[in-house]
Amino acid sequence: MEQRNVFTAEEVEILIEVSALLSSDLRGEEILEILMEQAVFLVKAETGILWLRPGEEKDLVPVAAYGLDFASVNLLHKQFKGYVESLTVGGKSIITKEKTGGNILLENASFAMNMAVKSMVFLPLINKGRILGCLQLMNKQDGGVFGPRDLRLCNTFASQAAVIIDNSFLIANQEKLMLSLIRALSSALDARDPYTQGHSERVSKLALLIAREIQMSHKQQVVLQRAALLHDVGKIGIRDNVLLEPGPLDEQRWQIMKSHPVIGAQIIQQIEPKSMMQQIYDGVMYHQEKYDGTGYPSGLRGKEIPLVARIIAIADAYDAITSDRPYRKGKDAKEALEEIERCAGKHFDPQLVQAFLRAMAEQ
């Protein structure tokens, strides 16, 4: 009896691996997939579904599944959404099997999965009183049914999973807020000059095309997106008679305009956390550097220029070439791409130029 109440080394190892997700920098979707998989492994279930609430006022929906195809998940969603919702609100984990009067539920699950379902476990996911969702596991791999020991294991797992999921929600909301603030700032800047309206947004999208083509990680793409949206933030500090000059700038005004990367970098340096802002700083500070070392403000050359800045430089130039200005009409896409290609190795990283050309050809 005592042995049945003790977790095995394998079970403890799974629980430790799950707890490590709390400090992981994986995306929310990846975390949910891992949690689903580990829950199945922990109690040796055949299949499972993770139900979560996508918003405060929304119903629970399946967000991850193990061992189930789309059609089965869709049917299970239709058949169990009301039951899972009420059970989750009740906050109590339960095992459903024939001897406990769960025949109708088991029949519904069997129909949806096109296989016999002998038992199921439902585990509400609640953290600090917040109802997050429910974990539904079905059938034991050995053909048996879930028992009290499985429930103890699952409850331990569910308490960890709830904290991890809640934390991932918090991080996702913080990132959404950060991006919203960045977009608001870039929009405020664009609004000063009707000829550059939407410029930062377009540069961001073009930069992400290059990032995907060279297979940058999701985390690097997030940084690049933010840096591209803020690359011209320093122009906030450029007075209107320079920024809004309708014609080409004279030398004195050009020198003032060239100060915008440094002004922007000074603004970025004031934002916390500094560890998160460093690569954004690089994009803002160095996006006007040129591959041959003739750019500004530091005259960096080649790979001395941070990758994020080298990417933004191409996206920024393309949008500038194709945009109308008071003193000239923008060129078409073909002409702009030809000009970008001509400047490969001079103004731009030649490898990134090729990636940009490939990405644009696919659009």
Q: Which of 93, 98, 94 is nearest to 117 (CA)?
A: 98
**pLDDT interval class at 7 (50, 70, 90):** confident
Read out DSSP for 191-229?
Answer: TT-GGGTTHHHHHHHHHHHHHHHTT--HHHHHHHHHHHH
327 has pLDDT over 90:
no
Helix, strand, coil abundance in the chain, percent, nearest 5:
60, 10, 25
pLDDT at 2: 39
Give the residue-averaged pLDDT of 306-321.
97
Q: How far is CA 249 from CA 56, 243, 322, 339, in A?
A: 52, 9, 19, 22
**pLDDT interval class at 131 (50, 70, 90):** confident
CA distance 189 to 183: 10
The pLDDT > 70 percentage for the chain reads 96
Q: Which of 56, 22, 64, 70 is nearest to 40 (CA)?
A: 64
Query: Taking the model in full, what pTM does it have?
Result: 0.71
Q: How far is CA 247 from CA 70, 85, 244, in A?
A: 58, 63, 9
Strand 130-140, strand 45-52: pairing: antiparallel
Instruction: Provide the 10 A C-beta neighbour count for residue 174.
Output: 10
CA distance 97 to 120: 7
314 has pLDDT over 50:
yes
CA distance 83 to 70: 20
pLDDT at 129: 86
Q: Where are the beta strands (DSSP E) in the chain?
A: 45-52, 61-66, 94-97, 119-127, 130-140
Whether residue 46 contacts residue 67, with contact meaning beta carbons closer than 8 Å, is answered with yes
Q: What domains lie within the chain, and their CATH numbers? A: 3-170 (3.30.450.40), 191-361 (1.10.3210.10)
Q: With H, G, I as helix, E, B as strand and everything else as coil, classify residue 45.
A: strand
The strand pairing partners of 66, in sequence order, are 48
* Span 247-275, pLDDT tens digits: 888 899 999 999 999 999 999 988 877 77
Instruction: Provide the 10 A C-beta neighbour count for residue 258.
Output: 15
Q: How far is CA 255 from CA 231, 238, 268, 291, in A?
A: 18, 11, 21, 20
Of 88-92, 98-102, 238-242, the one with minimum mean pLDDT is 98-102
pLDDT at 277: 81
* Span 62-84, pLDDT tens digits: 999 999 999 999 999 998 989 99
CA torsion angle 327 330 335 340 (round to 10): 80
